[in-house]
Structure 1
């Protein structure tokens, strides 16, 4: 069923790739319906999710809005030199337009964009963004959501063939990774949590199989444990009650995978969990595993999982 879904998504994109788009084109998205009058050549990406989608379509942005925690260049209007995880694929030196959810409108206007692409978190400033340029805001936090978004974005950009290729590459990568991981974790309960460390090092949030992270890991053959509900907060004692066979810990905020590992191993209860004793606790970066949520992120996640989970 899962393979059939991937094939269907690719087929849908392929069916729309037979001819060039005729502009103007109208695209429906989470904030409404937007008409793009001409093929966009100057595109701004608001956030890593939008950036992933654009890069997967072969589009380099003229501007970029990041989560404030990760903006290495503090001055708005300056090129961003270091974009976390995706930076090696960016060749355009995009200008820092500020926070991805509330960007600097003056800088945006100065870039003279043909299209602004972001997430629905920026819905409160959608009217202002739309006055600068046609704006598309998409949802991306749920399982398989970007696969629905990508063909829509590709239509706005006249990049439908690239969308077909990206979907096919994604499907191939998932199938290859699943072939390795699924046998290793067959019949095992895998818990996915994130923690900010520090004072909250003994508090964890659960990722379930219907969000982006848990959904991808489920597709990769890992039996993701949901806990009580999506994004549920659980204590160390709660982890003990769930007692999973394996745990994936994502370091969020200013936390790091190395610090999260140290906190975990130093904990009186976490160090005695079945997963810990079996050497099946894995530590990764929340930013990559939960915030980017696109086909390129999936490839990077798969590489990290294969490297860390196949060492023994």
Structure 2
């Protein structure tokens, strides 16, 4: 009965208070199931999403793979000391193993990890990764998906109490932020888009309420507008047709919030939008709002939203 309750709770993403994990333990994930023969002590994080989850559980990685070539990192095999948004929480000087899609197998092997944690982006090399160490790959781009992943990861790492604490803190943060934002966004239609700037400065991709970003903002009380399909792309004229009350613009690629704001203000079409006239257009970093996708990212996003919107 206990095993059945435990399995059900993990699938639902609820907390399970156990005396401790007995190894070996088998964890289901995106690429099947993986058995861990012992408690992992040397863990590699492939991507900022995996790093967010591990740090939230109090686990410091021995290796780290970044998400994008747009982010400057030291040479493969060198320690990374400057990780965007999460660096202040990293104390282990993890080695750069490459990127989350196709990390260096040679460097991974040299680290002798007990566990590799990543996203389904690494699925094409899952077999090679699994020959180096037990590997867990999770999907994390959909709304509230980390709440399903984190209890599984916590069980793999024997960190179930930490997971319980993380979930309580997250729920409190959502409630508090929702209350602080309610006056500024109540009954307003909010459009969340991202743009790479440059030649693409007049092209915008819509983040809807079922992806991680739009889902978090919806949980925070924002009435997020969906496009006609997932990741729908619109022009400035398309923005005019939607004419939202509030716009959140995420600067992606080599773009920055400052440049995105300058491009927005330079266009006579965006100036005519209801949100522009009401001075309710806000500019943030895509990397924080869409790549980390975990409880730490949620906390950092909440702080930025409160500072920008709840004036």
Kept in 1, the 8 Å contact 2:13–2:147? The answer is: no
* Matched residue SS, 2:97: strand
Aligned mates of 2:260, 2:246 — CA distance in 1: 16
* Matched residue SS, 1:192: strand
Kept in 1, the 8 Å contact 2:70–2:253? The answer is: no
Deviations 1:61-107 (Å, cap 9, x if unpaired)?
Answer: 00000024255333111001210110000000000001111000000
1:68-107 alignment, distance < 5 Å: 68-69=68-69, 71-107=71-107
Structure 1 residue aligned with 2:27? 27
Kept in 1, the 8 Å contact 2:190–2:245? The answer is: yes
1:295-310 alignment, distance < 5 Å: 295-310=295-310
Aligned mates of 1:277, 1:194 — CA distance in 2: 20
What residue ranges of structure 1 are gaps of 5+ in the alignment? Answer: 1-7
Structure 1 residue aligned with 2:256? 256
Cα drift, residue 227 of structure 1: 2.4
* Matched residue SS, 2:180: helix
Shift in CA distance, 224/71, structure 1 to aligned 2, threshold 3 Å: closer
Structure 2 residue aligned with 1:109? 109
* Matched residue SS, 1:96: strand
Matched, 1:280 2:280: yes
1:112-123 alignment, distance < 5 Å: 112-123=112-123
Cα drift, residue 186 of structure 1: 1.2
Cα drift, residue 298 of structure 1: 0.1
1:58-207 alignment, distance < 5 Å: 58-69=58-69, 71-207=71-207
Shift in CA distance, 126/12, structure 1 to aligned 2, threshold 3 Å: closer
Aligned mates of 2:61, 2:85 — CA distance in 1: 16
What residue ranges of structure 2 are gaps of 5+ in the alignment? Answer: 1-8
* Matched residue SS, 1:182: helix
Deviations 1:135-189 (Å, cap 9, x if unpaired)?
Answer: 0000000001000000000000000000010011100000000011123211110
Deviations 1:98-146 (Å, cap 9, x if unpaired)?
Answer: 1111000000000000000000011000000000000000000000100
* Matched residue SS, 2:268: coil
TM-score, normalised by the number of residues in structure 1: 0.95
Kept in 2, the 8 Å contact 1:45–1:116? The answer is: yes
Task: Number of aligned residue pairs: give it.
Answer: 302
Structure 2 residue aligned with 1:38? 38
* Matched residue SS, 1:41: coil
Aligned mates of 2:13, 2:71 — CA distance in 1: 37
1:43-54 alignment, distance < 5 Å: 43-54=43-54
Structure 1 residue aligned with 2:223? 223
Structure 2 residue aligned with 1:211? 211
Structure 1 residue aligned with 2:5? none
Structure 1 residue aligned with 2:294? 294
Aligned mates of 1:46, 1:178 — CA distance in 2: 31
TM-score, normalised by the number of residues in structure 2: 0.95
Aligned mates of 1:68, 1:266 — CA distance in 2: 28
* Matched residue SS, 1:97: strand
Structure 2 residue aligned with 1:270? 270
* Matched residue SS, 1:69: coil
Kept in 1, the 8 Å contact 2:208–2:215? The answer is: yes
Kept in 2, the 8 Å contact 1:195–1:252? The answer is: yes
